[in-house]
Amino acid sequence: MRHQPVLLVIAHGSRDPRHAGAVHALVRRVRSMRPGLRVETGFLDFNIPSVQGVLESLAAEGVREVVALPLLLTRAFHAKADIPAVLRDAPRRLRIRQAEVLGPSPLLLSALERRLYEAGLTPADKSSTGVVLASAGSTDPEAIAVIADIAREWWHTGWCAVRPAFASASLPRTEDAVRELRELGCSTVAVAPYVLAPGFLPDRIARGAAGADVLAEVLGPSPEVARVLLERYDAARTPMLAAVGA
């Protein structure tokens, strides 16, 4: 029976140890949801193992096929430039397909909503609650447009209002969006971090949420995020298998 490609989850990395901890917890959940699938983790910076190191180890073991999955919510610089550059330097014996980034996805909206409910909101609060969709931010116009689209889509599910905000590179900041929702007349203001792991920028989001009533946790190792990882893996591996008649 043909072996399925190895799933290599590529995370950005951070000096904050909470970042790697959340990444590893997410990978453990993915493994638990797909027994028998080999899942490895590599970091672009700050943490080990590096992406290049993992790829070299896999090649040395005799692995031939890898699905490289960017642990990113939007297609910004890392997905378009950094990760492809690292993959181009991989050992030649490896056949690698880069999967799509995680967002947007209805599952991620479900995860955001569940985090808000875990923070104290209920479904009955939706119509009176304004939500700040707070992301890390980017200089990439495509990534910024995606966040704005997600905010509009989420608003149509019944919230009083949903406003995008950014921790860096773009405006508005979280505190500005909180203020806008107050002025709009929403009875409750909640901040939903659209980030995968704790770190410097999520901490900035949290500081900006000081004037809000509710601050949700980051997405972290939630089951919805793990399901999106597996969806992206399956979509990327299908053409690989079809190419060899599997």
DSSP for 215-231 reads EPPP-TT-HHHHHHHHH
pLDDT of residue 134: 98
pLDDT of residue 74: 94
Q: 42 with 7: CB under 8 angstroms?
A: no
Q: Which residue has the higher pLDDT, 82 or 242?
A: 82
Q: 197 with 19: CB under 8 angstroms?
A: yes
**pLDDT exceeds cutoff 50 at 1:** no
The span from the CA of 194 to the CA of 136, in Å, is: 8
pLDDT of residue 79: 87
**pLDDT exceeds cutoff 80 at 112:** yes
The span from the CA of 62 to the CA of 168, in Å, is: 42
pLDDT of residue 10: 98
Which of 42-56, 71-85, 149-163, 203-217 is predicted least confidently? Answer: 71-85
- Averaged over 140-144, what is the pLDDT? 93
Q: 133 with 166: CB under 8 angstroms?
A: no
Q: 154 with 108: CB under 8 angstroms?
A: no
- Averaged over 214-223, what is the pLDDT? 98
Helix (H, G, I), strand (E, B) or coil at 30: helix
- Averaged over 99-113, what is the pLDDT? 98
pLDDT of residue 246: 45
Q: Which helix (H) or strand (E) holds 31?
A: helix 17-33
Give the pLDDT band of residue 146 (cuts 50, 70, 90). Answer: very high
Dump pLDDT digits (tens) for 220-237.
999 999 999 999 999 999
- Averaged over 204-220, what is the pLDDT? 98
pLDDT of residue 78: 80
- Side-chain half-sphere of 156: how many Cα atoms within 13 Å? 7
